A and B are shown apart, each in its own frame.
Chain A
């Protein structure tokens, strides 16, 4: 994919230190946020834009403290509104590389409306969705992504709500880029963030984040040492979808949907395994991948979808350019004197 040429690049090579802020990071020790911060500090210098051209916007939540911890232009907003604020930042100045840090409460509950609409519009920016399946900052109430039945501070008998799967929401809103990562895989996080930066359009990265205090081990089924090989499918574009300790299992497209098969069993070879095409315009397979949940399926990690569609901000610039070319009204004086006017002498 083409890099976003509207953002000016740095003339000097940058390092992680260029993006470390002087503020004390106040997340709990062991919080998934630390690894996410580290990945961002890794990837920003790699992306290569001038350091002044990064702008990090957030809402409210533990996750939304993020802007204070990276040394860029930063804006810490109000609860749920990060996506709306960032939309204004990007439209007003398309020469910025805009990053949003937001939580599952921030973007799935109070800010759900802005989340689906930013995606639908395909504004060119990057959303880091810290999904710890809990309200961290307010100390442990359930969120729209908390698994059904979970006991939390506001669900002493277990939640009775069907949780959102953010990936389904993104694709349902016609998302052009969706990736999923786990917070204990910095390498994958960094790679995925790099791809998100290169994608023209709204890139959503769902980060399965561990909140050690209020929802510890909520992603255990995915992240634990014993289970992760069987429960994680690492997607790579153009490669077959194999997983398991020895890559002995794979995903096959059957008439009824996706199914797990074993290489060598019933005559299955690698040729039967689905090959990942993240660039496909059609989101059909991407949606099936996004929906896979353990224990029945491995969870799909990496870039699930990265399709090219026109971006909102590009179209804004284009309309303005075209209007300027053909307009008879070129100044406010022209405007004031347009239409019916008359002279009194």
Chain B
């Protein structure tokens, strides 16, 4: 969890989506997603989470698998 933003992923949802892990890693402009334990999972790079631009590209790619929360709301 960052100081301002929290990005949570649902591993089971992401595993079900075909190539979803790879897509998440690609779409995020600030590298918040990295390869997980295997090719079908992602890890959240906590060091980058506060750089989140709230662009919604990840949640558009996986509405159920990713949650981006503003901790200041």
Q: Do A and B come from one complex?
A: no
